[in-house]
A and B are shown apart, each in its own frame.
Chain A
């Protein structure tokens, strides 16, 4: 959970006009600014890391190209424009994949993990699980643990969980908020200690 510092003074309109004027620094700022969000959007649909990385690169290549050419009609809505480019590329990827005669081959090829990255992922997975255990251990009652399991594992609706466990909406929000905040705190501490 690294946070990249973003120049808050630069508005999207300024950023677009600087890129159009050929400012290379502005281009780097744009990539830095939208990097995490674009990756989240792509990874939500594309589970293969290598494919996601390609789409991510392509998003910024196309996005910057269009900005340079002055194809962004509403510079104030730069976020919407970047999201749109990413989404279209994701859709295009799935369309191309669907056209392939054998989806299985693509999936099999796409899921070949890199050994080093796999080890790192495994390490992170264990780390997160350990922190979650810590959060669960600290929870004041089993009902709250039950809330978390039902909401995050079983994907039950909030209203249903509240009705079943006799919780108000506020109670429910509080349980989630506390658990998440505690987890964040522990995660930060763990990262700091390393």
Chain B
């Protein structure tokens, strides 16, 4: 590092006020650590800065004292100076007093404001933390109480119903099985009719209507076709009597249509199911035809 560069760019001043970049700082430190001239320069600047700061601080204190003693005293001094026709001295004094004050007081005020705000925020956080902690403690207590109550209740129930467990009652089991059966809904996957056309007299699929079930499901697997936004299904008897029609059917996640029917809809006989795809451009397009025979057990 050249001395002319150090002088021109106030490197030593900026080093002491912490304004150098890290790179500049490291370079300057490597230089001055073995340079008497720069060490002297740093020492002078540091002392001068310290002295100047002391002067500024003392003047600020003096001003504060003047203010606390009262404006009258200050005015008297000013008047005295003015009477003595020492206007330049008066101006210099005012400048020397006012300038550091102007520089230091706003900084001090801002620091005080920030401190007050930080303290307020801190106490708010502390309050919130204490509240949360209290709530957590209450919750733990409540949980413990409930656990105790539950275990007591369990013990009481065990004592009360313990003998009954050893003498099973077959009746409820049977009714339970019946309910299970009742809840089972048969699903019939229909196979599509291939070839020139469907022959309702020779149905491909057979569905056996269970007497104990109120509903059945017909399962139609589809070929994915992005043109169709929905499907239409029509079911008719072999003598072309329509028994069920529905539009706007959407395939499920397995790309199939699951159609739920009340089993009473179907009497023993042969049926024809027609599936059509519905697209915005072409309207209804035949997709597949299924024939099935409904039987009873």
Contact = CB atoms under 8 A, between A and B. Distances in A.
Contacts of B58: 129
Interface size class of A (residues with CB under 8 A): 35 or more
Interface string B26-46: 100111111110011011110
Interface size class of B (residues with CB under 8 A): 35 or more
Contact of A154 (B26, B36, B45, B103): B103
B237 to A, nearest CB: 88
Given A142-B95, A153-B53, A128 B30 contact: no
A128 B32 contact: no
Interface stretch (B8-16, B65-73, B77-85, B257-265): B8-16
A153 B47 contact: no
Interface string A75-87: 0011110110001
Contact of A37 (B39, B44, B53): B39
Nearest to B17: A155
B45 A41 contact: no
Given A125-B54, A129-B55, A146 B29 contact: no
Interface string A108-147: 0000000000000000011011111101100000100110
A83 B33 CA distance: 8
A179 B48 contact: yes
A3 interface: yes
A176 B18 CA distance: 18
Given A34-B34, A129-B58, A155-B19, A41 B48 contact: no
A44 B16 contact: yes
A131 B100 CA distance: 18
A40 B39 contact: yes
A83 B28 CA distance: 10
A79 B53 contact: no
Contacts of B99: 145-146, 149
B47 A183 contact: yes
Contact of B100 (A36, A133, A153, A176): A153
B48 A183 contact: yes
A136 B18 CA distance: 25
Given A1-B44, A153-B100, A173-B7, A131 B13 contact: no
Interface in A21-60: 33-34, 36-38, 40-41, 44
B32 A40 contact: yes
Contact of B51 (A1, A40, A131, A146): A131
A80 B39 contact: no
A80 B7 CA distance: 21
Interface string B84-99: 0000000110011001
B44 A41 contact: no
A83 B54 contact: no
Given A37-B39, A40-B42, A152 B49 contact: yes
A170 to B, nearest CB: 10
B33 A153 contact: no
Contacts of B26: 83
B58 to A, nearest CB: 7
A129 B32 contact: no
A128 B34 contact: no
Q: Which 4 pairs, one residue from A and one from B, show the smallest C-beta to C-beta distance?
A: A37-B33, A132-B51, A128-B51, A129-B54
Interface of A: 1, 3, 6, 12, 33-34, 36-38, 40-41, 44, 77-80, 82-83, 87, 125-126, 128-133, 135-136, 142, 145-146, 148-155, 158, 173, 176-177, 179-180, 183-184, 187
29 contacts: A1-B44, A3-B39, A12-B34, A34-B34, A37-B29, A37-B39, A40-B32, A41-B33, A78-B34, A79-B34, A83-B26, A87-B29, A125-B54, A128-B48, A128-B54, A129-B55, A132-B55, A142-B92, A148-B52, A149-B100, A152-B52, A153-B53, A153-B100, A154-B103, A155-B19, A173-B8, A179-B48, A183-B51, A184-B40
Given A12-B34, A128-B48, A173-B8, 17 more contacts: A3-B36, A37-B39, A40-B39, A77-B30, A83-B26, A129-B55, A131-B51, A132-B55, A142-B91, A142-B92, A148-B52, A154-B103, A155-B19, A158-B10, A173-B7, A179-B48, A183-B47
